[in-house]
Chain A
Amino acid sequence: MKLKHILMAACAAMISTSVQAEDLKVGMITTLSGGGAGLGIDVRDGFMLAIEQSGRNDIEVVIEDDQRKPDVAVQLADKMIQSEKVDVLTGIIWSNLAMAVVPAAVAQDKFYLSPNAGPSPLAGKACHKNYFNVAWQNDNLHEAAGAHANAAGHKKSFILAPNYPAGKDALTGFKRFYSGDLAGEVYTKLGQTDYASEIAQIRASGADSVFFFLPGGMGISFLKQFADSGVDVPVVGPAFSFDQGILQAVGEAALGVKNTSQWSKDIDNPTNAAFVESFKAKYGRLPSLYASQGFDTAKLLISAMDKAKVTDQDAFRAALKEADFASTRGDFSFGSNHHPIQDIYVREVIKEGDVYTNRIVSVGLENHADAYASQCNL
């Protein structure tokens, strides 16, 4: 008897989905388990919030966990393209996973909207007409940190990043704009959690400031240990070590630290205010920059759907290119290589009540585009 009910319910469900034909199918491959899950969860939640607020029922989103593994991401992408028949892919957090998935996906006439990773090849020589980056090119926030170091009068910075491609991009990006001398340049092990050795070198180098790119848990460890070391020089870094998800774990050690971001919860525009408010109401926590990127990615997608059908690829692509949506960042447009042209802010870590968060103190780089656009033939 029970079984019969279940079967009937299942049949009813199948009928209702087939009647209400889905117009556009999105495949989201993101990191939902393991150490980097916080980022993927924020991107997913931001994305789904925008879809829900649009009230549209012609978007279907298939979400899968890549476990931060390139091979898993590639398998998921194949599955989504071949059996799920998605029209648009999105969601990848890490640059190495993006490099494994994106070129193959766009070559199979799928659109890819990047809510986070922006490896330099995809902005330059390997750019593609179906690839749009809604976050930033990897170097951008580091470039703004370099510009800020100049503005703050830093003359002798000690710089460090993990020894992997994004870490090298970070130091290259910083140096592209920083005009002072270097007190030292150190590559740390990826995933390293103890920075006593590096901090001792910073102390001995006589640096007047520190720039670091250590995303996630690496940054938490570094900041706590640096704060406890007695080395009292200003620290600058990209927002990746100061996002809403990890600031609470760093605590007091992060107070006052300057960091660069294309988004902040106090960017003054109605879209952003509504986004912060509704994200908080729905998920019970403050959004991070990753959540804002997920939200903007969905808004971009919806804006293109208002103008064209995804089956008409040329029209849909042109609609995406217009970026005709209200971004949480305010002004937002795409450069020739489909990467953002946007302001990058300098933020400061503050404490609001019991919560550690950021506020904007200045604009680091205005209407900033990336350094690779000229290598892209679009």
Chain B
Amino acid sequence: MHMHPNVIYKKETPILLMKSRVGKFKGKSMSAILFIEQMLNGLQFGVMLFLMAAGLTLVFGVMGLINLAHGSLYMIGAFAAAAVAAATNSFLFALAASLAVAAIAGVLIEATIIRRLYKRDHLDQVLATFALILIFSEGTRWIFGSFPLFLDRPDYLAGTVALPFGIEYSLYRLTLIGVGLAIAVGLYLVIMKTRIGIRIRAGENDREMIGALGVDISMLYTLVFALGAALAGLAGALIGAIQSVQVGMGEPVLILAFVVIVIGGIGSIKGALIGAILVGLTDTLGRFLLPQFFSLFLENSTATSVGASLASMSIYILMAAVLLIRPKGLFGGA
């Protein structure tokens, strides 16, 4: 990117010409376009969270397992993508690698470690999968070193596109929204319309019964775990292209993904999607609106600081509010 000194961003439409003294929240100055752009940002954040949350909620719903190492699978996907992109220069190969490597890692840990945890209580699961986080983090550092890796969006997805109403939006982010929603639809169809989906749903309802009906339950568990891992790995690669591919990148996303599945109702794919979009919108709009709200009656530095602090709490407040009204989450079973 070339930085030309003194070239100011050319405003496309008069509505962007908000005469704002440091973002004063003055009715008129609140540009509708800025607001819509922020909604898109929230949606994009939400659908990427969904990719993480879907696997987490399936694994918890079907196997009753709390998997803290889900964030490590996200990291593994991003590192695999960065390594393959560096070697082949192809973003599509990189995405394929993220899916494959994360799925394989998922199968490996399921078969060697996770499988032993299904019958143990949640505390044992938390302990063991926390240990997995440490092993994966230091293992990744051992292979790739301590410095962040380079992964970029492909050139054909660079730059911005003009949307209706004069909105200019990043093409890559728009693609992320499309990919995320497509995967959500695909996942819904698989779970509702296919044989394997029927088994997964049956597994959520009554594990012992489907075993008794002759379904190879351990095979089913491995498959579900691999599916969740692959989705997390894909999310890591897609997000890694516009963020930093580094050790420990999965843990902050993991926390958000847990918030999402608690809001959506544990085990529900639909809940994960709605919860993810709610969390994405709340976080993005909170970060944008709260500081402006406080600047109505506080000095500017203080307002931005108080607003930012409150914004970082907003999703947890949302979670508390949802749990107050629906203790099992929005789409949690009875």
Contact = CB atoms under 8 A, between A and B. Distances in A.
B190 interface: no
Contacts of A184: 20, 22-23
Contacts of A187: 291, 304-305, 307-308
B300 A185 contact: yes
A203 interface: yes
Given A204-B34, A206-B9, A227-B1, A196 B153 contact: no
A366 interface: no
30 contacts: A34-B247, A38-B146, A41-B146, A187-B305, A196-B45, A196-B173, A197-B38, A200-B41, A204-B16, A204-B18, A206-B8, A217-B243, A217-B244, A217-B246, A225-B242, A228-B158, A228-B160, A228-B172, A230-B9, A230-B160, A232-B1, A232-B3, A234-B3, A234-B6, A246-B244, A248-B147, A249-B148, A253-B152, A255-B1, A257-B3
Given A203-B9, A225-B243, A232-B3, 4 more contacts: A187-B305, A204-B18, A220-B244, A255-B2
Interface residues of A, number: 60
A230 B159 CA distance: 6
A367 interface: no
B3 to A, nearest CB: 5
B23 A37 contact: no
Nearest to A248: B150
Interface in A154-176: 163, 168, 171
A233 B7 contact: yes
A94 to B, nearest CB: 15
B245 to A, nearest CB: 7
B22 A185 contact: yes
Contacts of B44: 196
Contacts of B34: 200-201, 203-204
Nearest to B31: A204
A221 interface: yes
B248 interface: yes
Contacts, number: 182
B4 to A, nearest CB: 7
Contacts of A182: 22
A186 B243 contact: no
Contact of A153 (B1, B6, B153, B168): B6
Interface of A: 33-35, 37-38, 41, 152-153, 163, 168, 171, 182-189, 191, 193-194, 196-198, 200-201, 203-208, 216-218, 220-221, 224-225, 227-235, 245-246, 248-253, 255-257
Nearest to B248: A35
Given A37-B141, A204-B16, A193 B4 contact: no
Contacts of A233: 3, 7-9
B309 interface: yes
B147 A185 contact: no
A200 B137 CA distance: 33
Contact of A163 (B3, B31, B308): B308
A163 B241 CA distance: 25
Interface residues of B, number: 65
A162 B20 CA distance: 23
Interface in B27-83: 31, 33-34, 37-38, 41, 44-45
Nearest to B160: A230
A210 to B, nearest CB: 10
Contacts of B311: 189
A201 B23 contact: yes
A140 B203 CA distance: 60
Interface in B95-151: 137-138, 141, 146-150
A30 to B, nearest CB: 12
Contacts of A152: 5
B244 A221 contact: yes
A246 B147 contact: yes
Contacts of A37: 141, 146, 247
A221 B1 CA distance: 15
Interface string B249-292: 10010000000000000000000000000000000100110010
List of 7 A-B pairs having minimum Cβ-Cβ separation, nearest first: A217-B244, A220-B244, A249-B148, A196-B41, A187-B308, A227-B1, A35-B248
Contacts of A255: 1-2
Interface string B214-256: 0000000000000000000000000101111111110010000
B244 A200 contact: no
Contacts of B22: 182-185
A253 B153 CA distance: 11
A205 B158 contact: no
B246 A168 contact: no
B245 A249 contact: yes
A257 B1 CA distance: 9
Nearest to B173: A196
